[in-house]
């Protein structure tokens, strides 16, 4: 059992590892697109066995490179003028991945994970210092204690317990959000000067679910509409090199309402093509990044790909495809190249 000093040191080191990994993944587009592939190959192995052994017929899924959608997955919606396009096709199901085929997979890079109520929650947005203080009021009821028992050498059995996780600490609900989607950890860790700094880390369950229309994500889970306090964009070059340069967004007053109406009502599509070469993936298309600060202080990072694709950064290959006429008005305002 670690003493308190060792636990603080461990938390500090893990926080710095998370920050370093976030900066590192911005160095190449390929790393960003491959990040989701590691989630399930590395983190879900024992958990899937646990579900099977308990007779649970549900699915735990990844945001992967390679998972297939069901055969009725939505096709790209058509458009006519600025009319909202509502597809009658089913959306995408984010399915469970196969277990790793060799122990070498377990040596892959780790990302934050907590097992809660039979689901895997993976690392989402995180907030430090002043940003964390801004959302402190969102920290809700205490729901349990993360064990911090998972690392790249963990056995399958290590995953098969409630609150198995990659980092230890107290786990809380997030006020205003469904605990079936988002939970958080809240703790103080030393900053670079050794002073205590508040750290709030969201964990989100984006697997084992069917996403049909955009509203399933943007409204039911993220609760965007009517709550935006600030919009900023980052060019892909700035994002790719971790420059932290943000710009104000400027477009006509009704453009955003049209954009969100389309995003909420159009269908999710799976952009992964197992036959495509790395250079042909959507992650090699022109893109821009739109950051939405909500009234509660939380930030939603949308990823906009040329051609009408609107995605939530942690969701990997799954996007809502909207008509390009309205999409381009926002995309162009965000410095997107075409």
The answer to whether the beta carbons of residues 319 and 211 sit under 8 Å apart is no
pLDDT band at 60 (very low <50, low <70, confident <90, very high): very low
Cα–Cα distance, 146 to 141 (Å, whole number): 15
What's the pLDDT score for residue 5?
47
Average pLDDT of the chain is 76
- The size of the chain, in residues, is 338
pLDDT at 261 over 60: yes
pLDDT at 151 over 90: no
Cβ neighbourhood burial of 250 (10 Å; 0-12, 13-18, 19+) = exposed
Average pLDDT over residues 10-24: 48
pLDDT at 96 over 80: no
Average pLDDT over residues 270-278: 83
Strand pairing of 287-294 and 268-270? unpaired
pLDDT at 292 over 70: yes
pTM of the model: 0.75
pLDDT band at 251 (very low <50, low <70, confident <90, very high): confident
Closest C-alpha among 151, 222, 136 to residue 185: 136
Cα–Cα distance, 133 to 244 (Å, whole number): 20
pLDDT at 259 over 90: yes
What DSSP character marks residue 192? Answer: T
Average pLDDT over residues 127-154: 92
Name the β-bridge partners of 232. Answer: 248, 291
What DSSP character marks residue 165? Answer: B
pLDDT band at 31 (very low <50, low <70, confident <90, very high): very low
What's the pLDDT score for residue 89?
55
| Between 261 and 109, the higher pLDDT residue | 261
| Between 141 and 33, the higher pLDDT residue | 141
Cα–Cα distance, 39 to 121 (Å, whole number): 10
Phi and psi (nearest 5°) for 290?
A: -115, 120
């Amino acid at each position: 059992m670690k003493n308190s000093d060792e636990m603080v040191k461990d938390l500090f080191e893990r926080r710095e590892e998370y920050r370093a990994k976030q900066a590192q993944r911005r160095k190449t587009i390929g790393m960003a697109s491959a990040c989701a592939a590691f989630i399930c190959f590395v983190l879900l192995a024992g958990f899937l066995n646990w579900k099977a052994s308990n007779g649970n017929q549900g699915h735990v899924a990844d945001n992967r490179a390679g998972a297939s959608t069901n055969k009725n997955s939505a096709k790209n919606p058509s458009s006519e003028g600025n009319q909202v396009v509502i597809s009658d096709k089913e959306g995408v199901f984010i399915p469970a991945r196969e277990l790793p085929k060799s122990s070498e997979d377990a040596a892959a890079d780790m990302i934050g994970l907590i097992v809660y109520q039979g689901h895997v929650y993976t690392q989402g947005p995180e907030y430090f210092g002043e940003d964390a203080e801004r959302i402190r009021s969102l920290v809700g009821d205490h729901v349990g204690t993360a064990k911090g028992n998972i690392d790249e050498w963990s056995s399958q059995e290590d995953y098969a317990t409630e609150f198995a996780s990659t980092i230890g600490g107290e786990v809380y609900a997030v006020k205003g959000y469904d605990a079936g989607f988002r939970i958080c950890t809240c703790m103080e860790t030393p900053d670079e000067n050794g002073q205590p700094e508040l750290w709030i880390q969201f964990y989100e369950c984006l697997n084992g679910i069917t996403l049909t229309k955009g509203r399933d994500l943007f409204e039911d889970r993220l609760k965007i509409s009517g709550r935006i306090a600030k919009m900023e964009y980052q060019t892909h070059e700035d994002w790719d090199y971790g420059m932290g340069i943000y710009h104000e967004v400027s477009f006509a007053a009704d453009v955003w309402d049209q954009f969100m109406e389309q995003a909420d009502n159009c269908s999710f599509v799976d952009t992964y093509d197992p036959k495509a070469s790395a250079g042909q993936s959507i992650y090699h298309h022109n893109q821009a990044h739109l950051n939405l600060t909500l009234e509660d202080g939380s930030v939603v990072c949308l990823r906009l790909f040329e051609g009408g694709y609107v995605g939530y950064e942690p969701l990997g290959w799954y996007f809502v495809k909207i008509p390009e006429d309205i999409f381009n008005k926002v995309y162009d305002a965000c410095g997107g190249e075409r």
